[in-house]
Amino acid sequence: MRVIVKTNADNTYIFKRMSTVNNNRQQIVMKAAEAHRETLRKNIQRRLDVARVRGDESLIRQLEAEAQYIG
């Protein structure tokens, strides 16, 4: 919470402002990051499936390592 005090000749004004805008931005960034990770996971899984069908053991190991790194 942020408190701003402004004083003039007549009155003192206290404005309390919740940082809802910052919280909303943070939530949007977090959701976007999670969506990005999910897209990466799906892409790696699709590539792994193709590599397995082709029998490309080197690519399979590489993609499995990448999947483990992403989580």
**Element counts in the chain: helices (H) and strands (E):** 2, 2
Closest CA to 67 of 34, 47, 58: 47
State residue 5's pLDDT score.
53
Global pTM value: 0.66
State residue 47's pLDDT score.
97
Report domain extents, the chain.
2-70
CB atoms within 10 A of CB 63: 21
State residue 15's pLDDT score.
47
pLDDT in tens, 13-62: 444 455 666 778 888 999 999 999 999 999 999 999 999 999 999 999 99
